[in-house]
Amino acid sequence: MLYGKDKILYRTIKADRLSSIILFGPPGCGKTSLARVISETTKYKFYKINAVTAGVADIKRVIEETRNLMLNPVGKSIVFIDEIHRFNKLQQDALLPFVENGTIILIGATTENPYFEVNKALISRSMVIKLNPLTEEDIFKILKNALKRKDGLGEYNIKIEDSTLKKLAIISNGDVRTALNGLEIATLTTPVNSDGCITLTDEVIKNSIQNRKAIFDKNGEEHYDNISAFIKSMRGSDPDAAIFYLARALNGGEDPLFLARRIVICASEDVGMANPNALVVANSAMQAIHMIGMPEARILLAEAAVYVATSKKSNASYLAIDKALSDVSSKDTGEIPMHIRNAPVEKMKELGYSEGYLYPHDFPGHYVEQQYLPDKMVGTKYYIPDENIKNE
């Protein structure tokens, strides 16, 4: 843990020896709160910029004020940029030289994976810290504290059961801001009863907060993480996990056809010759989704995902083609044997094209031993069936 008591981030903040950092994590996990703690402990001038509304001109203004020794005798400042992933390349590039020379200490906050969204040069000059969603117990404690503090809801005479607060913590799904907002709305919109109390019941809380939030952005890191988990669950033969990640993707707004294509790929790559019918099922589902669409498409996706997940697995064909591609792109693999070359013109046969070719169907069992690989590749094995593949 980087930011617990006596850990590296805690120690650098306390000593005011902070270097540039990028904080990333889901909404409501404490990124802005952590920046606020830094602003209250640092000796440097602290600027806060919101990337949604700011531009290069705002960055230049901060730099000018920082370098003006009349305004800032230290000649250095801390710049907190919320939603830094919203800055385009030009805006991020404008920061780089001043981060490099130490004029500013950058604190960037983002809900997106910075390795995808932030300038690589900025990343290399910053400590990247991932903040996880708060646990239900953490949020419960914060809610209890908010009910007591005068700068929270302590001035209200609120009556609420711990079980109700715990349900609020669960619904917020790791976002403490959502939990606090829900508690505040419930308090402010519930009339005082005859006992002079504001009684907050399960029903009141339910009507004061949105449905359980799905931490899922179909255009962000969660998209990649969820689809990776979906594919690996099918590959790992866990139909329950596959259905779970499928539901998560659909709930987050993923394109059903995108999901169908992933199932088709998995059917070919991971099931392969262990059950060739998996590809037929997956492809049929994808084609049907073209005609049907949501919400019924969820049923087709579920059926195809379960079929692929519960099928025996073999990646023998996948390994075979990759090995062959590697060989043909990096080795001298020789010439195609003359006896299996095409001879559409009679004169070509006089040159040896197709001469000596044995037609397998003329032999018992429709098989005859003859060379197909080039001389330089004779004996090479690409397709190696495993124990899941029968009748090979």
CB < 8 Å & 24+ apart, contacts of 146-150: 146/180, 146/183, 147/183
Confidence of residue 390 (pLDDT cuts 50, 70, 90): very low
d(CA 97, CA 309): 51
User: Where does the chain hold its CATH 3.40.50.300 domain(s)?
Assistant: 8-130
Among 84, 74, 132, 92, residue whose Cα is nearest residue 112: 84
User: Where does the chain hold its CATH 1.10.8.60 domain(s)?
Assistant: 136-206
> Is 136-206 assigned to CATH 1.10.8.60?
yes
User: Where does the chain hold its CATH 1.20.272.10 domain(s)?
Assistant: 221-310
* CATH among 3.40.630.20, 3.30.450.40, 3.40.50.300, 2.40.280.10 for 8-130: 3.40.50.300
Q: What is the pLDDT of residues 67-112, one digit of tens each?
A: 888 887 777 888 898 888 888 888 888 888 888 888 888 898 888 8
Tokens 């009141």 correspond to 204
pLDDT at 313: 94
Q: Order of strands across the sheet with 104-110?
A: 45-50, 77-82, 104-110, 21-24, 127-130
Confidence of residue 4 (pLDDT cuts 50, 70, 90): low
Q: Is the pLDDT of residue 170 over 50?
A: yes
Ranges 25-34, 48-57, 200-209, 275-284, most confident: 275-284
**226, 248 contact by CB (below 8 A):** yes
With 0.75 as the threshold, say if the pTM is over it: no
d(CA 45, CA 105): 10
Average pLDDT, stretch 322-340?
Answer: 90
Q: What is the pLDDT of residues 227-244, one digit of tens each?
A: 999 999 999 999 999 999
Q: What is the pLDDT of residues 352-368, one digit of tens each?
A: 888 888 989 999 999 99
Q: Is the pLDDT of residue 52 over 50?
A: yes
Q: Provide CB contacts within 8 A for 348, sequence distance 6+.
A: 354
d(CA 289, CA 26): 32
Average pLDDT, stretch 127-133?
Answer: 84
Among 169, 155, 168, residue whose Cα is nearest residue 198: 155
What mean pLDDT value characterizes the chain? 85
- Give the fold, CATH level 3, of 221-310: Zinc Finger, Delta Prime; domain 3 (1.20.272)
Confidence of residue 152 (pLDDT cuts 50, 70, 90): confident
Q: Which helix (H) or strand (E) holds 249?
A: helix 239-251
Distances (CA, A) of 246 to 181, 226, 381: 30, 8, 37
